[in-house]
Amino acid sequence: MNRLTDIESETAADFILRQRRTVTIMCGIVGWIDWRRDLREERSTIAAMIRSMALRGPDAEGSWVSRHAFIGHRRLSIIDLEFGRQPMSTVAADPFILSYAGEVYNFAELRRELEKTGHEFRTRSDTEVVLRSFLEWGRESFARLRGMYGFAIWDSGRDELWLVRDRFGIKPLYYLPTSSGVIFGSEPKAIFANPTVKTELDATGIAELFALSTAPTPGHGVYKGLYQVKPGEAIRVSRRGVESYNYWSLAATEHRDSLEDSVDHVRLLLEEIVEQQMVSDVPLGGLLSGGLDSSAIAAFAARTAHRRGEKLPTFSVDFPDGQAEFIPSAWQDSWDEPFALEVSRHVGTDHRTILVTPESALTHENAVLHSRDLPGWGELDTSLYFLFKQVRQHTTVALSGESADEVFGGYPFFHNRDALAYPGFPWLLDKSSPWTLFRAEVESAVRPANYVESRYREALEEIPTIEDENEIDKRMREVSYLALTRWLPAMLDRKDRMSMATGLEVRVPFCDHHLVDYVWNLPWRYKNEGGEGKSLLRRAVADLLPQSVLRRRKSGFPSNPNRQYLASLRQRTLELLSTPGAPVFELVDPAKVAELLEQGRPLPSPRASASPTAGMSYLLNLDSWLRQYNVNLSYH
């Protein structure tokens, strides 16, 4: 591949360029390749597609258009970002054009390596590092990146488009192949802004929403014809069609380190990762629930902040009278707030509690729906959205403890013998899924139980194995793989939509692939020493946290326990039942909903744990989505 020495960007004095680091965060990418159209004549459609990504980047926009290719970008400018204008292109007769969103944490090391090979940089942005890495190493460059990202590179000389997503799907990237090219974007709304695309839901999309919404199939976009670039995947689009390349996947290797050495190595990795992810030119804080995972990240981050002479801001969520109305469950053993306050005092953070009232939860439902472009997780989404909206008033970047349960084996299904023996996704044991509300004819056409079984078998076939591995480690390797590749992407997707809609960037240190690669190959006895879940992580941070938190059991994101909120959802659900032509009842049997309400039983929801509010919230969300997105149902 030819090495080009100039990158098209805004001009500035070299002195300034060498003194400032440009951070590329909170962006939206969009594009359209069509070999039968002249896209230079599609200005109104291009403008609409770029405008659709305004929430992900409200401050600036850019586009590059040729006869058959449009590459667009939306950006949120925070500090001195004018030197990283996007799309970024090489200066050549047949340029390479990049639209990039995310953060590459090892960009400085890659930059030094590229400079040694002769590249001359015009900006301080990680965007330019990503583009020059591709110029130097081609598709081999993707595996060199360490971070969270989704980006598109158009090679105008070869008429080829590359769509690339990070290893765990922290940043989203959708695409829709057409008969003459492809349309793509960070979110479905970017694609639906193109008038050639219609919103349609077929049988597989219905199955994804109602049977696998907790852990959707990798690459599936739910809408008919829509796909996601899978985590760790690169898609090449050319006149020959669409080709897929996996540049990363979990690999099975025999672990030889002792338990003590493994604990030490995990500790070193976490210290390095958190410090690396605290590089920021904008205010940075931490999400602190008081659970082991977020507390560990907050402790490492607080130490780094203290060395800099700063105090880390941390944030938690609570509800009016939440502790008084709290009912323990397998997924939430204890109320968060007392633990969050204790950790804050212990590690020395500037802590704020964000209170989610029933009014605030109801007020933000529509904003949450349009952030997702799909039915979400009901009130769990609205609570998270409101939390992020309030956090954004104090900081621009927040560190999260998300994914530690997938990496270290913390969820209840890792420790439930019946769930481990269950011949399906272990989190579905004894779970009442939303598809149980189907009308008879919909269930007959969609066949949700068969769909779930097929997806489970496909997942098992992907899992790499080690010869002569004992049965316990073999099964726990399988469950860990399922959690990392099915469960985790849905959690990250929710986090991305709610944070991007509020202008907050959330970073997830536990998703660093160096850590995940290492821990995934540890024997289960290392992670579950003495039958204590996540024992390896507990040992790695034992000197940083109070004993109460070190011993605390898994506690998930809390559902709203407020009785006023529950009453409001119940009244709205009763009103929905009496609404003529409610589109959700083309799929759901209203008699089944009415019976559950009459019996005072929770409606089934996507959430793994039962909640009195989540099922009603999800049903209402489904109906709003079908109406507002004018979704055509074609499941027959």
Per residue in 87-104, pLDDT (tens digit) is 999 988 889 999 999 999
| pLDDT tens per residue across span 496-509 | 999 999 989 999 99
Q: Considering only 14-28, 55-69, 217-231, 366-380, which range has the smallest mean pLDDT?
A: 14-28
Neighbours of 325 (CB within 10 A): 14
Q: Is 181 in the same domain as 321?
A: no
What's 15-36 look like in SS3? HHHHHCCECCCCEEEEEEEECC
Within a domain: residue 252? no
Q: Is 512 in the same domain as 604?
A: no
3-class SS of residue 387: helix
Under 8 Å CB-to-CB from 147, ≥6 apart: which residues? 102, 103, 104, 105, 106, 107, 166
Domain boundary among 526, 550, 574: 550
Q: Considering only 48-62, 230-244, 306-320, 552-566, which range has the smallest mean pLDDT?
A: 552-566
To the nearest whole percent, how much of the chain has pLDDT over 90?
79
Question: For residues 200 and 475, what is the distance between their CA atoms, to the nearest angstrom?
Answer: 38
How many domains in the chain? 3
**Ramachandran bin of 232, using left for φ above 0, alpha for ψ from -120 to 50, beta for the remaining angles:** left
Question: For residues 385 and 520, what is the distance between their CA atoms, to the nearest angstrom?
Answer: 31
Residue 179 corresponds to which tokens in the numbers above? 């008969």
Q: Is 226 in the same domain as 337?
A: no
Within a domain: residue 342? yes
Give me the CATH number covering residue 404.
3.40.50.620
What's 510-566 look like in SS3? HHCHHHHHHHHCCCHHHHCHHHCCCHHHHHHCCCCCCHHHHCCCCECCCCCCCHHHH
- The reported pLDDT for the residue numbered 561 is 67
Domain boundary among 522, 550, 578: 550
Neighbours of 393 (CB within 10 A): 10
Q: Is 199 in the same domain as 167?
A: yes
The string of DSSP letters for 317-366 reads: EE-TTHHHH----SSB-S-SHHHHHHHHHHHT-EEEEEE--HHHHHHTHH
| pLDDT tens per residue across span 132-166 | 999 999 999 999 999 999 999 999 999 999 999 99
pTM above 0.85, yes or no: yes
Q: Is 66 in the same domain as 161?
A: yes
Q: Which helix (H) or strand (E) holds 126?
A: helix 126-137
Average pLDDT in the 68-80 region? 77
pLDDT band for position 331 (50/70/90)? low
Give me the CATH number covering residue 51.
3.60.20.10
Indicate whether 59 pLDDT > 80.
no
Within a domain: residue 608? yes
Q: Where in the sequence is the domain holding 612, given as residue range(s)?
A: 563-630
More confident residue, 290 or 636: 290
Average pLDDT in the 46-66 region? 92
Buried b (16+ CB within 10 A) or exposed e, 60-77: ebbbbbbebbbbbbbbbe
Question: For residues 455 and 474, what is the distance between their CA atoms, to the nearest angstrom?
Answer: 20
Question: For residues 566 and 574, what is the distance between their CA atoms, to the nearest angstrom?
Answer: 12
Within a domain: residue 260? no
3-class SS of residue 5: coil
Q: Is 130 in the same domain as 37?
A: yes
Q: Is 293 in the same domain as 424?
A: yes
Q: Is 216 in the same domain as 96?
A: yes
What are the backbone dihedrals phi and psi of residue 506, each rounded to the nearest 5 degrees, phi first? -110, 125
Cis before residue 87, ω within 30 degrees of 0? yes
| Residues catalogued as catalytic | 27
